[in-house]
Structure 1
Amino acid sequence: MSNIHHRAFPFNTVLSLRLLVEYWEERIRSGEVPAFAAQLLAYIDQAPELRQPIDDYSTLEKHRPFINFLLTAAIPLASNSTDLVAIIEPFNFKAIYGTAAFNAHIDLTDFEEQAVANVPGGRVTLGKTLRACLMILEKYQDSRILSSNPKPVIVTLKDKVTGLDRVYKVELNHEFCEVIPHTAPKAIDKNIIKFLIEKIYDVDLWLQYFRPEDYTFQGFLITRMIDVTEQEMLSSIKYDLLEREALMQPESFSRIEHKVQSLFGMADIRMSIAYLDPSNRLAISYPATERWETLLGTISDLQGAHLSGSVYERSWIERRNITVENLQEYPFRSPIEENLLADGVRNILLTPLVDEGETIGMLELVSPVPGQLNPVSAHKMEHVLPMFTTAVKRVKEELSTEVRALIQEECTAIHATVQWRFFEAGVNLMNKRRTNDKAVLEEIVFKDVYPLFGMADVRNSSIERNVAIQRDLQENLVLAGTLLRTFQEHMSLPLLDAALVKVEEHFVRLGRGLVSSDESDVLDFLKQEIHPLLHRFEHEAALQQAIEHYRSQLDPFFGVVYTRRQAFEDSLQQINHTIGACLDDADDEAQKMFPHYFEKYRTDGVEFTLYVGSSLLKDRTFDAYNLQNFRLWQLLTMVDIARKITSLKATLKAQLDITQLILVHDQPLSIRFRADEHQFDVDGAYDIRYEIVKKRIDKAFIKNTGERLTQPGKIAIVYNQVKIEDEYERYFHYLRARNLMVGVVEMLELEALPGATGLRALRIAVAPEEPAANGEAPSLAAGVEEALRLL
């Protein structure tokens, strides 16, 4: 690539009026000029210096009126106040004449330094040099490239007062400029000319064939500049909007805003653009402003009675441009408009961005000057609105993907109810990391939420698992002992005697009960000492049947007897799956009552935690009625789980029971997301007691009895406030009415737990399930609503 834009114009130029004088002489002699022609010729004859090269501008001033008249051949007088036209020295921005319009708008003093041309590097020098070479090519190489394949010359100038860009198409007329060769021009092969055209911006290559010292440009050029700012700005804005983050990066956004200002010719216009994401309860805007959040709040309540009545809302709902030319005179101002006035805004233009009938964003232009923006201004923006809409749609999709990936990295999966808050924090983190790659996720805290905790645990699961392991190992040892005795019947080997002794020792030890090391010891013995014997003697015909029988009793995957352990694991999995599915179905209905945070953990059974409160949402209020709904929902869900597991027991390979427990915490608390553990924990020393109780109550005993609180077929409700008893007594009344519980309510006092004293409990027995008359179980949510009507 040429570096000509770092150098001066290489050709020699000379100002001359000779061709202009000859033009008039020819017109006069042909009779095209009226009676005063003789006086013109006489003046020309008396001023021979007008036919010579002019290097002293005093010559021009001496004959200024006459020269101005002669120049009407190039610039009609009628265009003086409208057209931007000037007469300049050849390829030198030094005007010898300019129209009044030109002189008012264009300053040629430092034009070449300030103007940016549509050539590589943007320097005007490169464009001038190419134009000079093309003029030589056209005149001496029989080429018509300038007239047959013209490329418009576009220059951008910055207004020294406003700082805005003005864009002009430059038309150069060289009718009165001649190329004077100093040597006879050499013919250039057509293939070379074609190659030069292909390398149009390689000026160093061009100057090898058109050497500057061989030519001089003499005469003057007619420069006509046509203001194309609007077309070029619109085109440039469209191009900028194709960039991936055009609307979210400060540099690119400022560049687009500057071009919008240049489009309107108003430096004090400010632009904002926003997209709204109702699913995440979030408004993303640049620059960030509170009014977008306000608008988001009104959109979620369009059917409600408390609408803001702002022009933003009107534009959004009606999907049309709205212009307020003077906010001070606007009679229907909402708090949004009042805030704008306080910020110095007097004039506003709003344009909704609509995609396939859906409003996805809003473009805002504001000005401190009344009347600057009007319906005509809106018409100008219509040409680029589709590109703004496309850009916003792309930003919305890409930002959502990027933020979700960031959330996944920082927080793993996020519950849908609180996703809006994480999305908001993710956007903030993404913006921070553009300038600080070590930025971390802001703290996410929800205050004044009510916790609901429940668990359905397999009764004595550890004991049942150990018994299953013990019996499988004992059976495996019996099979191994039988096999070893069969081997002894066919051969006498000391190793067989030693192995049989170890089998008997392990069997006796297991008979005393399973301790932590027994399982690994027996498995190691079987796999390292017994099973190698199978490979050693499997080719002995007399032993093959015994070996095959032994192998047939082993699990193909684990290589040991796994019958009872498998039955236990299968049964446990069935129970957990049933409880989990029941909880998921119940929570789907509960989310319809009031959106909330829900999570469950699978152990030997299932624990579930639910947080509900106004702070989890942006647009709903949680009250005591809602809390009662959820407590009754929780109780009905536990009853449903108990009855389903009772029905499931007949199909289980291992007879397992479950116990159930509910913890009632009467006071709201705060929860904080812990990024290191990717989960919510209660926040604050006072609320920690809730977590302590939650982790220990399943081991609680009834005071002075030695009896475990949790028992199969019963649901225990743990609490520490007496008023809870009255509330749950109403729920129990409903359960009895629906035949969901039997017997009396046990009112129990619990033994003190480490870190938790004074706990009490209610315990009820669940009635066995009876088939519904129509074969369909009633909706859980319908049951909650029915109960609350009766209470």
Structure 2
Amino acid sequence: MTEPHLLDIFSERNGTEPTTPAAGQGKLLTATLHSETWELLAVNGALAQLVGLPTDPTELAARSLNFFDLCPPESSRDRQSLQRRLRLPLILRDIAAIAPQDWRLWDEPQIFTLHSPHHAKPRYIQGWFRWEHLRAHRIDPTYDELADLDLHQPASLSQTNLETRIAWNNYQIEGDVIWEGIDITPQETLRRLNHVLVDVGSAVFDPEHLHCVGHKLHALFHATTTLILSMKQNRVQPFLFCKGQAEPLETLTLKDLEQAHALRAIQAHRVWNVPDLEADCPTPLEQILLERGCRSLLLIPVSQSLSTGGPEQVLGVVILGCPTPHQYDQLDAAYAEQLIPAFRTALRQANQNKLMRVHPAVEWRFAQEAERRSLGLPPEQIIFRGLYPMYGMSDIRGSSDERNRAIQADLLAQFNLAIAIIDRVLENQAIAFLQQVRADLQVQIDRLAEGIKVEDEVTALDYLHDHVEAYFDYFEQCSPAVKQAIATYEQACNNDHHCIYHARARYDSTVQQITAHLRDTWEQWQTQMQTILPHYCDTEVTDGIDHMIYLGKAIHPQFSQFHLHSLRYEQLRALCDCARTCFNLRDEQDNPLQVAHLILVQDITVDIFHDEQTEKLFDVMGTRDTRYEIVKKRIDKAISTQDQARITQPGMLTIVYSTESEWLEYQHYLRYLEREGWITCDRTMGAVEPLQGVTGLKFARVEVIPAAESEIHQA
């Protein structure tokens, strides 16, 4: 319904002189615009004051400005499109006699950015163009480009792109447009800040993103400095953005924050205001801010609950600084409170894994929730229901045994160097105590040669430190030969680990090389899979890589069975390619480690949710869904009921399933893979030994063909 003051304006129109919007300094901004040129014909006092224009129509006309001259250049790019969208209901109403209440385009608000001489940053204005009082008529009444359409049928209107059918040059609009706006700069800045924080996630501390976040914070809080303290355990990493520049600061400890305002804010569990830093500057951290011109501080503590009713984990503190004392008030504190959920998401991800971000496929939901909270609405849990899970892994076979052998080799080498030192000392001094020390060392060497225990990597080194290295000061005085033996020992241990780490370094390098190539291969396929349909994918790197995919309508509304089957087949192809990547590494670099590959099939959907009290991005809901999680954790060690051998084998792809319908579906995929030359025609079928709490699983195993042999096999 049209507002009363607009009806008054319309009744005063004489068709020649522009109507001046109601004067006054209220919050409503109004203007009268020429319907063809968007020229400003009149403005009310509030808009005139905001953008620095005269309210007198004659003086305003002398400026010869249109509405978009008040906006940044990019705002005028879609002016023609906007004008056509607003004219369309007029044409349909006045030419086709379609009731205007059937159209909502006039009620759609637009967000404009207006320059103001009173503000350093543009203002965000939510505005509406009022066209309902205008009239449209055809210049050439004989030309009717809509004659073949039944515009009174909703189906005809919805299926036709009317904007492309309208002959716009054949229509004239009579009357002037009324524009109304409200300044929503704080609310819009909050919304955009929440979106940016959720969007960049753990990358909030990258210089580029820190600039973006810092500028928006400064605009909202009239600040010149932002200091973000990221906290994990006893470590405090400061990130400073001051006067448009990111500055590096040294890492702190919690002890460095004793008596600091940041610690006071954490202990108070609320936004903390420091009216005048000159009068209260307790620690070197505040001194840094004072030296950069900060007088007022606003501190936002960010924490998360680890369990219901349990203690909170402090993630960090966001500190805003302003050169004016007594700058911040309750309204600033209220704005700051609305940013805490988004900062919690960003800092939690940064503390957990700097490489992790909210996945693009579900980012929209996190941004949506951040925007809700920025508007003061109560938190709403993020849940995605009815998703199909797709789990796969490429596991380095025998990695634990291989690392144990590397530990064994390093420890034996170090113990032998220790014995060499004792032998050099005994050459000059037949000391009974040293002879017993040597005998103990030999016992240790004999035991390590037979095999190592889990604790040996630590306890064996402690033994050397207590029974050999502790005597180095004395040994060095015995003879040059002893001194040289000690130098050899210390040189071999001169690394970050402070022990011999040669075999383990080779092992670590080999594993890292395999996992890096596996991840690169998988990420290439994942990029391709996202083009089929956006879906959530979480990749974890351990001794190999695991991936967890969720897809369904809750994530993308266009999801269908076609997308499910297409992505299941792509997942199989991707793991076959991962297997080929491992074959290439084995052949090119004589890599001793082998990799087995597995896919877990489940045709029953699950529900996932984001729990803000945990570090994981998503957890499954309900006992029915946790069965899949249990299988995921245990399936790589599963064995066959037939021969008690592991169901996964190096260089092969294993498919684990539960029902006959799942197997029938995957039989088709295996036939396709065979046709493409990914796998051989051989199949190994069997049942999986019951896992704890899970029975009835079956498996099929196929051999992946190396790329070099694929063409021969197909021929």
1-structure distance, mates of 2:125, 2:708? 55
Contact persistence 2:134–2:176 (CA under 8 A): no
Deviates more, 1:402-411 or 1:508-517: 402-411
8 Å CA contact 2:408–2:448 kept in 1: the answer is yes
The structural deviation recorded for 1:568 is 1.2
> Are the structure 2 counterparts of residues 651 and 408 from structure 1 closer, same or farther at C-alpha, using a change threshold of 3 Å?
farther
Structure 1 residues 717 and 771, CA gap change in structure 2 (3 angstroms): closer
* Equivalent residue number for residue 233 of structure 1: 46
Give, as a single letter, the amino acid of the residue that structure 2 aligns with 1:647. Answer: N
Please point out which of 411, 419, 423 is paired with 2:367.
423
1:401 Cα deviation (Å)?
3.2
CA distance in structure 1 between the partners assigned to 2:387 and 2:107 by the alignment: 42
Q: Structure 1's 688 and 569: CA in aligned 2 closer, same or farther, altered over 3 A?
A: same
The CA deviation at 1:501 is: 2.5
SS at match of 1:742: coil
Cα distance in 1 for partners of 2:455, 2:599 equals: 36
Could you say which residue in structure 2 is the equivalent of 1:602? 541
CA–CA distance in structure 2, aligned partners of residues 576 and 596 of structure 1: 23
Aligned counterpart for 1:676 among listed residues 613, 637, 640:
613
The CA deviation at 1:373 is 11
Contact 1:750 1:761 in 2 (8 A): yes
Aligned partner (choices 527, 543, 556) of residue 588 of structure 1: 527
Q: Compared with structure 1, are the counterparts of its residues 526 and 602 closer, same or farther at alpha carbon in structure 2 (3 Å cutoff)?
A: same
Shift of 1:417: 0.9
Shift of 1:485: 0.8
Which of 695, 719, 722 aligns to 2:657? It is 719
Cα shift readout 1:107-135 (whole Å, capped 9, x = no counterpart): xxxxxxxxxxxxxxxxxxxxxxxxxxxxx
- Give per-residue Cα distances to partners, 1:447-503, cap 9 Å, x unaligned: 221111001111122222122212221221122112211111022334422421321
| Alpha-carbon distance change, 352 to 549 in structure 1, aligned in 2, over 3 angstroms | closer
Q: Which of 498, 509, 512 does residue 570 from structure 1 map onto?
A: 509
Which residue of the partner structure matches residue 649 of structure 1? Answer: 586
**Residue 361 of structure 1: how far off its partner (Å):** 9.4
* Structure 2: stretches of 5+ with no match in the other structure: 1-22, 31-40, 54-77, 115-123, 137-172, 202-340, 350-356
CA distance in 2, matches of 1:768, 1:737: 15
Residue segments in structure 1 that go unaligned for 5+ positions in a row: 1-154, 167-227, 241-312, 341-346, 434-438, 774-791
Could you tell me how far apart the structure 2 residues matched to 1:393 and 1:165 are? 17
Q: 1:457·1:604 contact (CA, 8 Å) conserved in 2?
A: yes
Q: 1:333 and 1:478, CA in 2 relative to 1: closer, same or farther beyond 3 A?
A: farther
Matched residue of 1:453: which SS?
strand
2:196 to 382, 395, 401: 401
Aligned AA (2:575): M
- Say yes or no: does 1:510 pair with 2:305: no
User: Greater Rg, structure 1 or structure 2?
Assistant: 1
Q: Provide the C-alpha distance between the structure 1 equivalents of 2:496 and 2:193, rounded to a whole number of angstroms.
A: 46
Per-residue CA deviation, residues 265-299 of structure 1 (Å, 9 max, x unaligned), is: xxxxxxxxxxxxxxxxxxxxxxxxxxxxxxxxxxx
Q: TM-score, normalised by structure 2?
A: 0.57
- Residue type matched to 1:589 in 2? Q
The answer to whether 1:763 aligns with 2:701 is: yes
For residues 354-365 of structure 1, the aligned pairs below 5 Å read 363-364=127-128
Q: Given that residues 594 and 626 in structure 1 are in contact (C-alpha distance below 8 angstroms), is that contact kept between their aligned partners in structure 2?
A: yes
1:235 & 1:687 partners in 2: Cα distance? 60
* Contact map agreement 1:355 1:389 (CA 8 A) in 2: no
Alpha-carbon displacement from aligned partner over 1:38-59 (angstroms, at most 9, x marks no partner): xxxxxxxxxxxxxxxxxxxxxx
Give the Cα separation in 1 of the matches to 2:91 and 2:573: 60
Q: How does 1:152-167 map to 2 (within 5 A)?
A: none
Q: 1:687 aligns with which of 625, 632, 638?
A: 625
Contact 1:322-1:350 within 8 A present in 2 as well: no
Q: Amino acid of the residue matched to residue 551 of structure 2?
A: V
Cα gap change, 1:483 to 1:574, in 2 (>3 Å): same
Equivalenced residues, count: 465
Shift of the alpha carbon at 1:505? 2.5
Distance 1:502 1:746 in 2: 51
Shift of 1:319: 5.7
Q: Does 1:371 align with 2:149?
A: no
3-state SS of 1:692 partner: helix
Residue 497 of structure 2: SS of its match in structure 1? coil
**Alignment-mate amino acid for residue 658 of structure 1:** V
The residue number in structure 2 matching 1:749 is 687
Deviations 1:401-432 (A, max 9, x none): 35657435236321011111110001112222
Please provide the CA RMSD for this pair.
4.4
Q: Which residue of 1 aligns with 2:358?
A: 414
1:431–1:373 CA distance, 2 compared to 1 (3 A): farther
What's the secondary structure of 1:611's corresponding residue?
Answer: strand
1:636 aligns with 2:573: yes
Deviation at 1:165, TM superposition (A): 12
**Structure 1 residue 641: Cα displacement:** 0.7
Partner Cα distance (2:82, 2:43) in 1: 30
TM-score scaled by structure 1?
0.52
> Contact conserved, 2:424 with 2:485, CA < 8 A, in 1?
yes
How do 1:258-273 residues align onto structure 2 when only pairs under 5 Å count? none
Matches of 2:443 and 2:198 in 1, distance apart?
62
Matched AA of 1:522: A
Identity %, equivalent residues: 26
How far residue 317 of structure 1 moved from its aligned partner, in angstroms, is: 5.5
